[in-house]
């Protein structure tokens, strides 16, 4: 049996909106980032002016894992996501393409984003 190494939860981010696009990520971070397909259970992706997730039983939302991010990368991404005004960065559990459970970071909408539809 192959011993597959799980991504490091401190350097991995699940993305589900504009950060899925390579050109967008490279513009923000300033470099190419390794990615892997993943999905999150019991969340639905929605969009106002920004993409966001809301809990919804039985729904799976596809996205990507960004792997090997540095503290500097997270700083740039936090500014892009307007943390803490529009999003917070929280730990979550997602499912990799091979069915493996992966713990990682995810941007979660704040009440302000949900209430104002920013």
Judge whether 4 lies within some domain.
no
pLDDT tens figures, 37-81? 999 999 999 988 889 999 999 999 999 999 999 999 999 999 999
User: What CATH number is attached to the domain comprising 71?
Assistant: 3.10.490.10
pLDDT confidence tier of residue 9, bands split at 50, 70 and 90: very high
89 vs 95: CA distance, rounded Å = 18
Judge whether 77 lies within some domain.
yes
Q: Are 61 and 45 in contact (CB under 8 A)?
A: yes
Judge whether 15 lies within some domain.
yes
Q: Are 12 and 96 in contact (CB under 8 A)?
A: no
37 vs 98: CA distance, rounded Å = 9
84 vs 37: CA distance, rounded Å = 26
- Pairing mode, if any, of strands 13-15 and 51-67? antiparallel
* Entry pTM: 0.91
Judge whether 1 lies within some domain.
no
Judge whether 59 lies within some domain.
yes
The mean of the pLDDT values for the chain is 92
**How many folded domains does the chain comprise?**
1
């Amino acid at each position: 049996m192959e011993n597959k190494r799980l991504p490091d939860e401190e350097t991995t981010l699940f993305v589900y909106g504009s950060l899925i696009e390579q050109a967008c990520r490279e513009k923000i971070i300033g470099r190419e980032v390794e990615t892997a397909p993943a999905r999150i259970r019991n969340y639905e992706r929605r969009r106002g002016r920004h993409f966001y997730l809301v809990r919804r039983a039985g729904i799976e939302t596809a996205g990507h894992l960004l792997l090997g991010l540095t503290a500097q990368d997270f700083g740039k991404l936090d500014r892009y996501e307007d943390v803490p005004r529009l999003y917070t960065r929280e730990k979550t559990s997602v499912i990799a393409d091979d069915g493996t459970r992966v713990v990682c970071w995810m941007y979660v909408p704040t009440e302000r984003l949900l209430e104002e539809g920013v």
